[in-house]
């Protein structure tokens, strides 16, 4: 695997750092409700919103393996 194999998109950042998007909030709720995993609203919530959108649009196919790295963000959880 090389750096070219990793895709990085910023389409789901919204208005920027610290600005929570509607899609982010929906992703946080969905993952908490269905997987018992808490995502932060700054990074991982927005990244999950993008992942969910790509799956819904068929950009990421159901038969593909996805690795989602949850990198933390615990302090931001308490700002919601």
What does the domain layout of the chain look like in residue ranges?
A: 3-77
Q: Nearest to residue 42, comparing CAs of 66, 72, 67?
A: 72
Model pLDDT for residues 17-76, shown as the tens digit of each residue: 888 999 999 999 999 999 999 898 888 999 999 999 999 999 999 889 999 888 777 666
Per the document, the length of the chain is: 80
Q: What angle do CA 11, 17, 19 make, to 5 degrees?
A: 85
* Tokens encoding 6: 């990793």
* Threshold 0.85, pTM exceeds: no
Q: What pLDDT is stored for residue 71 in this prediction? A: 76
């Amino acid at each position: 695997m090389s750096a070219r194999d990793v895709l990085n998109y910023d389409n789901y950042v919204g208005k920027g750092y610290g600005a929570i998007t509607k899609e982010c909030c929906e992703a946080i709720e969905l993952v908490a409700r269905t997987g018992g995993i808490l995502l932060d609203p700054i990074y991982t919530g927005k990244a999950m919103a993008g992942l969910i959108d790509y799956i819904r649009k068929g950009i990421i196919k159901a038969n593909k393996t996805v690795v989602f790295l949850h990198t933390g963000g615990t302090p931001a959880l308490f700002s919601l």
